[in-house]
């Protein structure tokens, strides 16, 4: 039996050996470990298919049952299992590595069973680490502090990456417990401070690597360092592959969120970060790398628009966490010592002003300014000299207005420090409902708004029944209000191109082969001109006219003569003979024109009457030509004489008409092939520019 009031590391126990004899062993011994296999953790499936969900539930049930069995063990058995069971450490490490973070909660399946099981694992893992970080559970069950620090350090039960993951996973709603855990770990084993210094240097190297990946000059690089010959060939945020851009954004989001959570829960680490000039490096990285990443996300073409939205959301979240980290570092390394009245207050004040001065050359935005203003206001709160609320709002409004003119569009996308929306709001609600599942989401939302989205304060006030009067009147089961969706603007638009084949607002699929920029690839002018497909397409249209063309080609002149000579239908009228009827004539008084024309018309009518039955087309053409010539002669029209430029053979002389025709041809031939060269030559010759 273990001795009472003796540290576990000094206790001895007597147990039967495998051979049946009793033996005495230290309380912490590998032979006292129970045979149990802890399975690694796997995150919930993203697609939510029934088979994958069932597999996750069964797998998670094994982990939950094993951890609950572990937590139920007595003090000595628990620590034997923790120190000597490698499968347990693999299980805990896998959860810290693969558990969904705040921004990943929105991608989890909406199955209630999956959500309940995930909460069960989350709670069991946290309680396990909480017990592992406690060196004294009771007066009878405890460790020697120095031995406890050596056990957790030498067996890698805790290290800096694990502590960082614990903060980002369990920080919401458990900040005070985590603070006590981490403070006890660093107190019992100061070697963790050395590991933290190495971790800070690694984080700074990560920022430099991101800048190099984006093709940007690192702020800490020396000017004397020679540039490599292939430096100009490095990819930038706009030219790198989409997968590389995705990896950079995800890594940046995870790093900034984790560091901020760690410094928020364990402020004592701010000194270690500041010893490496972390604040200056972080602000420089913010102004150098963030604009290029924002531009790349906005300007690049993404086949999946949801991916673009997710990247923008994660980058905005990273910017917000970087600004929060700057606020924490300034508060705990500069403002807090001044407010506590420590020695060398002048040194801390000068350091704070020096940081503010270093921020001036950088591009400012409203988010950072709001955090600086909050830092100043916290100083007023701590000394009991709170500024009037109206004056505070006025100063914030003036600062916002002065910065809005220089703020880039990307800065407007960053969320305000007090406005929590989207995945982070869902994470806050989830943390509160884990402890208070009976409360409605609508009631919790009102509580979060009242207490500036501080989940710990909300939980504490609800448990102690110290809610504000306006919250105490609300129904605690109030559901979440349904957000009314505004009608889409695109549904109300009107355009002449609505519904065409390129209307991307009404068509899910557009033939992109018919869309190109500039000259079409592979387009050839000769091939385009030789393409006669449009002629074949028009054949069907003109095919219907072939019958009319054939009838015109088969015109029968005798057919018309037959019907002209035979007065078909002329004798069909009853009681009257059209053949003997006198043709209509205009009275002499009403006629216009001279007497010769009237006589000519009468003569033509007589000739037409005389030749009514002679319908030879050749004769009709001759008569029409004769009438035309006679009319032109009466009007004084002289037909143009045919040109004769050939003339007589040489030696016989030329007529005056031939010479005139040749001169006329020479003068007018500039209108055709020679393109006015002859007239221009004559013009130069007349001005004396060309010797004649």
Q: Considering the chain, what percentage of its residues have pLDDT values greater than 70? A: 73
Of 305-319, 439-453, 605-619, the least confident: 605-619
> What one-character-per-residue DSSP string does 606-673 give?
HHHHHTTT---HHHHHHHHHHHHHHHHHHTT--PPPPP--S-SPTTS---HHHHHHHHHHHHHGGGTT
Q: Which pLDDT score is estimated for 419?
A: 59
User: What is the chain's Cα-based Rg?
Assistant: 50
* C-alpha span between 309 and 63 (Å, rounded): 35
Tally DSSP H helices, then E strands, for the chain. Answer: 30, 2
The string of pLDDT tens digits covering residues 652-663 is 788 888 888 888
Task: List 26's β-bridge partners, or say none.
Answer: 12
Retrieve residue 67's tokens.
């951890």
The string of pLDDT tens digits covering residues 503-520 is 777 777 888 877 877 777
The reported pTM is: 0.54
Q: Residue 412 pLDDT more than 80?
A: no
Retrieve residue 557's tokens.
């002149």
Which has more confidence, 452 or 593? 452
Of 174-188, 268-282, 613-627, the least confident: 613-627
Q: Residue 185 pLDDT more than 80?
A: yes
The string of pLDDT tens digits covering residues 110-135 is 688 888 999 999 999 999 999 999 99
Q: Which pLDDT score is estimated for 72?
A: 94
**What number is the average pLDDT over the span 160-185?**
92
Q: Is the CA virtual torsion 61, 62, 65, 67 positive or negative? A: negative
Q: Which pLDDT score is estimated for 674?
A: 56
* C-alpha span between 297 and 111 (Å, rounded): 32
Band (613; pLDDT cuts 50, 70, 90): low
* C-alpha span between 32 and 18 (Å, rounded): 12
The string of pLDDT tens digits covering residues 58-67 is 999 999 999 9
Q: Which pLDDT score is estimated for 406?
A: 38
Q: Which pLDDT score is estimated for 668?
A: 75
Nearest alpha carbon to residue 356 among 342, 371, 344, 345: 371
Residues 6+ apart with CB under 8 A from 5: 139, 140
Q: Which of 344-353, 393-402, 415-424, 523-532 has the highest average model confidence (pLDDT)?
A: 344-353
Mean predicted lDDT score pLDDT of the chain: 78
Q: Which pLDDT score is estimated for 108?
A: 63
**What number is the average pLDDT over the span 551-560?**
49
């Amino acid at each position: 039996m273990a001795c009472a009031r003796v540290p576990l590391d000094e206790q001895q126990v007597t147990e039967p050996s495998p051979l049946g004899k009793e033996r005495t062993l230290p309380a912490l011994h590998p032979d006292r470990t129970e045979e149990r296999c802890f399975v690694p953790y796997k995150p919930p499936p993203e697609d939510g298919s029934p088979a994958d969900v069932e597999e996750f539930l069964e797998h998670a049930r094994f982990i939950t049952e094993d951890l609950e069995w572990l937590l139920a063990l007595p003090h000595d058995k628990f620590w034997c299992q923790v120190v000597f069971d490698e499968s347990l450490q693999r299980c805990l490490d896998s959860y810290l590595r693969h558990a969904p973070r705040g921004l990943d909660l929105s991608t989890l399946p909406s199955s209630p069973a999956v959500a309940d099981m995930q909460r069960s694992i989350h709670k069991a893992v946290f309680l396990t680490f909480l017990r592992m970080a406690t060196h004294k559970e009771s007066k009878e069950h405890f460790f020697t502090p120095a031995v406890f620090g050596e056990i957790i350090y030498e067996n890698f039960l805790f290290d800096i990456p694990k502590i960082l993951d614990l903060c980002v996973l369990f920080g919401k709603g458990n900040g005070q417990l985590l603070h006590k855990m981490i403070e006890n770990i660093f107190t019992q084993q100061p070697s963790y401070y050395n590991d933290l210094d190495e971790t800070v240097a690694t984080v700074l190297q990560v920022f430099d690597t991101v800048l190099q990946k984006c093709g940007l000059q690192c702020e800490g690089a020396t000017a004397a360092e020679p540039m490599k010959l292939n430096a100009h060939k490095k990819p930038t945020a706009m030219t790198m592959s989409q997968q590389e851009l995705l990896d950079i954004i995800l890594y940046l989001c995870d790093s900034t969120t984790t560091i901020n959570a760690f410094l928020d829960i364990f402020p004592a680490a701010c000194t270690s970060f500041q010893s490496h000039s972390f604040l200056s490096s972080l602000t420089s990285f913010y102004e150098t790398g963030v604009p290029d990443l924002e531009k790349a996300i906005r300007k690049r073409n993404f086949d999946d628009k949801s991916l673009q939205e997710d990247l923008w959301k994660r980058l905005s979240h990273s910017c917000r966490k970087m600004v929060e980290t700057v606020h924490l570092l300034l508060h705990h390394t500069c403002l807090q010592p001044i407010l506590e009245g420590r020695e060398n207050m002048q040194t801390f004040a000068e350091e704070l002003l020096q940081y503010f001065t270093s921020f001036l050359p950088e591009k400012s935005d409203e988010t950072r300014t709001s955090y600086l203003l909050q830092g100043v206001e916290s100083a007023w709160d701590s000394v009991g000299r709170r500024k009037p609320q109206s004056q505070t709002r006025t100063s914030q409004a003036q600062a916002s207005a002065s910065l809005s003119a220089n703020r880039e569009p990307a800065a407007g996308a960053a969320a305000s420090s007090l406005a929590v929306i989207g995945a982070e709001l869902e994470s806050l609600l989830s943390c509160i409902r884990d402890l208070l599942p009976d409360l409605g989401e609508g009631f919790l939302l009102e509580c979060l708004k009242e207490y500036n989205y501080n989940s710990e304060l909300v939980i504490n006030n609800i448990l102690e029944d110290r809610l504000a009067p306006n919250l105490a009147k609300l129904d605690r089961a109030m559901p979440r209000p349904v957000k009314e969706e505004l009608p889409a603007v695109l549904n109300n638009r009107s355009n002449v191109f609505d519904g065409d084949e390129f209307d991307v607002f009404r068509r899910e699929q557009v033939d992109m082969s018919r869309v190109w920029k500039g000259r079409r690839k592979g387009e050839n002018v000769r091939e385009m001109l030789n393409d006669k497909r449009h002629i074949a397409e028009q054949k069907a249209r003109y095919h219907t006219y072939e019958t009319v063309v054939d009838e015109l080609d088969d015109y029968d002149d005798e057919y018309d003569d037959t019907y002209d000579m035979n007065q078909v239908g002329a004798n069909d009228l009853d009681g009257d003979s059209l053949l003997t009827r006198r043709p209509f004539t205009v009275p002499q008084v009403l006629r216009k024109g001279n007497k010769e024309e009237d006589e000519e018309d009468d003569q033509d009518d007589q000739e037409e009457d005389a030749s009514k039955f002679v319908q030879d087309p050749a004769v009709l053409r001759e008569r029409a030509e004769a009438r035309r010539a006679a009319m032109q002669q009466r009007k004084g029209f002289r037909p143009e004489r045919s040109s004769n430029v050939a003339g007589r053979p040489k030696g016989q002389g030329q007529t005056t008409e031939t010479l005139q025709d040749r001169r006329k041809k020479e003068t007018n031939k500039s209108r055709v092939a020679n393109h006015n060269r002859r007239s221009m030559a004559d013009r130069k010759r007349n001005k004396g520019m060309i010797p004649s």
